[in-house]
Amino acid sequence: MENLNNDYTHIKGWGIDADPKNEPTYPMKKYTGDDHKRLNWDRPPLQPVNIEVLHSTERPNITAVFGTSTPPSGLSGAIRRYAFQFSENQYMHWLPLLLADRVNVVEGIVDDLKRGHIPNIFAERGMKAELKHNPKGLAKRILVTVAVTSIAYAILKGKSKKR
């Protein structure tokens, strides 16, 4: 047992059956007692914060290091900032983040076009490999897409004629 400052001698039998080997996290965790020092470890030097870093409301600060990939921007960034007002415990944190991810996909296409790059979505989806290793599957996929698009077009055209 680790040596605690608290005195439990008035509690008969306190800790008598404590057995580190009967511990669900054993042997994954090497007990040092550091858990009970709470948030008082010597922090590593802090990485300078030169970009916007959103941080969980479940911690008091930004971690000593952090990733600098793709800081929040645009509409998706605004949605992410909103999401980070809520704790990790709440759907209002995670669901807006999923929405932001989808908005970000559209922003990515717009950014590509702004830079004069037309994204080759066929290539980005690995369809060259599909053609090589699963040509029947690719043909089926194309046929289904054409059929669904044609049916949708026919329905829309029919509706506009009725008007």
Partner 1 sequence: MLAMNYRGPRRVRADQKPMPEILHPNDAIIRVTRSCICGSDLHLYHGLVPDTRVGMTFGHEFIGVVEEIGPSVEKLKVGDSVIVPFNIACGTCAFCKQELYGNCHESNPQATAVGGIFGYSHTAGGYDGGQAEFVRVPYADVGPTVIPPGMDHDNAVLLTDVVPTGYQAAEMGGIKAGDTVVVFGAGPVGIMAAKCAWLFGAARVIVFDHVEYRLEFVKNYANCEAYNFRSIEDPVLFVKKTTDWLGADVCIDAVGADASGDAMQTITGKKLLLQAGSATALHWAINSVKKGGIVSIVGVYGPTDNLVPIGNVVNKGITIRANQASVKRLLPRLIEHIEAGRLDPKAMITHRVPLEEVADAYHIFSSKLDNCIKTVLIPPSARR
Assess 98 for contact with partner 1 (CB under 8 A): yes
Assess 43 for contact with partner 1 (CB under 8 A): yes
Stretch that binds partner 1, among 6-14, 103-111, 143-151, 153-161 (CB under 8 A): 103-111
In the list 13, 15, 27, 116, the residue contacting partner 1 (rule: CB under 8 A) is 27
Q: Which is nearer to partner 1, 98 or 143 (CB)?
A: 98
Q: Which is nearer to partner 1, 92 or 156 (CB)?
A: 92
Assess 32 for contact with partner 1 (CB under 8 A): yes
Q: Which is nearer to partner 1, 125 or 156 (CB)?
A: 125
14, 21, 40, 42, 96 from 32: Cα distances, Å: 20, 14, 14, 15, 39
Q: What is the rounded CA–CA span in Å between residue 144 and residue 97?
A: 31
Assess 118 for contact with partner 1 (CB under 8 A): no
Residues in 56-75 that interact with partner 1 by CB under 8 A = 56, 58-59, 61-70, 72
Judge residue 78's burial from the number of C-beta atoms within 10 Å of its C-beta, 0-12 exposed, 13-18 middle, 19 or more buried: middle
Residues that bind partner 1 (CB under 8 A): 24-25, 27-32, 34-35, 37-38, 41-45, 47-48, 53-56, 58-59, 61-70, 72, 76, 80, 84, 88, 91, 94-95, 97-98, 100-102, 104-105, 107-109, 119-121, 123-130, 133-134
